[in-house]
Amino acid sequence: MRLHRNLVYAVIDGLDKIFNEKEYADKVVEKLLKRDKRWGARDRAFIAETIYEIVRWKRLYTVIAAVNPPYNRDNLWRVFAVWAVLRGHRLPDWKQLEGTPVRRIKGKFDELSQTRKYRESIPDWLDELGVQELGEELWEKEIHALNEQANVILRVNTLKTDKKTLKKSLAEEHIHTQELKGLPDALVLEERANVFKTEAFKNGWFEVQDASSQLVAPFLQPEPGMRVIDTCAGAGGKTLHLASLMENKGQIVAMDIYGNKLHELKRRSRRNGAHNIETRVIENSKTIKKLHGKADRVLIDAPCSGLGVLRRNPDAKWKLQPEFLQQIRQTQQEILQDYSKMVKDDGLLVYATCSILPSENHEQVKTFLNTDQGKQFELVKDKKILASQSGFDGFYMALLKKKPTK
Ligand SMILES: C[S@@+](CC[C@H](N)C(=O)[O-])C[C@H]1O[C@@H](n2cnc3c(N)ncnc32)[C@H](O)[C@@H]1O
């Protein structure tokens, strides 16, 4: 593909916001794509994909380009030139690209690719942590898999339609999909496309949700008529799945500490035709106390490092800090302690994260089970999903059962 000047300008503007002003990549891209109505699907894909690729390979490309933060526009152009050379683009004769040292870039790439932290483009601390938590061999494979581009996967909203009808409707808009083994409600796109513009999306027939994430709600074994509490519901990816599995019967209490996320959840549930969801902002411990011993099922989709979803959110490599990880592990344990109190006798609890680190996953569950509160539970089963083994996002989920009180 030929490089178009106005599209590359948009990429440079986006990188400036992400690298220098520390804005979130997804928000920056979303805003940029609204800039020019004349841009077609390919133009938009170029902008979004180029920005994400440069964010993903930031460390490698900035070292090759020999630039340091804060990155002025000349520096951002140098980083862009590295991307263009390594992707095999013929460089146009624009003044910003004059004198690009093509051979030097390729040579430097070969040299740096010998070292994992450059090859996989990750901070030193993350590389050390990965080795410490997963061991050298597994971390090597995992971080490689987490740097690949993720497929787009849909979850059929069975409250409104079925997989066959959705597949047909999307095909009519030239979006072709395949089924996925072991995931009854999933369809994977054969090629990336903007699915949010389709009639099917407007009708609430599907949500975009990775395959691993689609395993969480069924893991909790919700049944129609039950009372289910989704404690860290956010904008409701899993709440909506729970509503589908419960066929809109029973009650789902969706909670979060952020009201704006629950607001978005409400909007999505209207589009989904999910009528059994009540939202509650967690303002203090009273919100939880009122529900002690009241739920048949409790889902803790815990806040985490997000290291399992780097393919979708490469920006996290640069935003995450070791101190945050320390803090989030503590929050995870506190959440397990407090929110597990809402489970009824014989009820079930799922603790899930989109992390691949044992310290956020089975080690947290093990610590919990050894506490006074945790002793009231038994571990039924758990599932560790690695991107390198599954081809999907890294995830963890543990199913715990509350023992009856004597
Ligand atoms: C992994 S995200 C949830 C994703 C969501 N369940 C979904 O499927 O779309 C974790 C959520 O936990 C929320 N959170 C953070 N700290 C919390 C706390 N102490 N109690 C409840 N929710 C919390 C965050 O606001 C965030 O929405």
The ipTM, to two decimals, is 0.99
Catalytic residue (one of 156, 262, 282, 354): 354
Q: How far is the CA of 127 from the centre of ligand 1 (A)?
A: 26
183: amino acid identity, one letter: L
| Residue 232 among the catalytic residues | no
Domains 153-208 and 213-402 share a fold: no
**Residue 213 · residue 397 · CB < 8 Å:** no
Choose one of 239, 240, 257, 331 to mutate for the ligand 1 pocket test, by most ligand atoms within 8 angstroms of C-beta.
257
Fold of 5-120: N-utilizing Substance Protein B Homolog; Chain A (1.10.940)
> What's the CATH superfamily of 153-208?
Sun protein; domain 3 (3.30.70.1170)
259: amino acid identity, one letter: G
Coil vs helix vs strand at 352: strand
Q: Left if phi > 0, otherwise alpha if psi is -120 to 50, otherwise beta: which for 4?
A: beta
pLDDT (tens place) for every residue of the chain, 406 residues total? 789 999 999 999 999 999 999 999 999 999 999 999 999 989 999 999 999 999 999 999 999 999 999 999 999 999 999 999 999 999 999 999 999 999 999 999 999 999 999 999 999 999 999 999 999 999 999 999 999 999 999 999 999 999 999 999 999 999 999 999 999 999 999 998 989 999 999 999 999 999 999 999 999 999 999 999 999 999 999 999 999 999 999 999 999 999 999 999 999 999 999 999 999 999 999 999 999 999 999 999 999 999 999 999 999 999 999 999 999 999 999 999 999 999 999 999 999 999 999 999 999 999 999 999 999 999 999 999 999 999 999 999 999 999 998 7
> What's the CATH superfamily of 213-402?
Vaccinia Virus protein VP39 (3.40.50.150)
Ligand 1 proximal residues by C-beta, below 6 Å: 231-238, 256-258, 261, 282, 301, 303, 331, 335
What is the Cα–Cα distance from 344 to 15, expressed in whole angstroms? 49
Helices within 33-101 (DSSP H only): 41-56, 58-65, 73-86
Residue 70: cis peptide before it, omega within 30 degrees of 0: yes
Q: How far is the CA of 266 from the centre of ligand 1 (A)?
A: 15
Cβ count near 3 (within 10 Å):
17
What is the Cα–Cα distance from 399 to 406, expressed in whole angstroms? 22
In the chain, domain spans: 5-120, 153-208, 213-402
| 304 CA: nearest ligand 1 atom | 1
Cβ count near 42 (within 10 Å):
11
- Distance, C-alpha 273 to centroid of its chain: 24
Q: How far is the CA of 76 from the centre of ligand 1 (A)?
A: 34
282: amino acid identity, one letter: I
Mark the binding-site residues for S-adenosyl-L-methionine, compressed into ranges.
256, 301
What is the Cα–Cα distance from 7 to 330, expressed in whole angstroms? 44
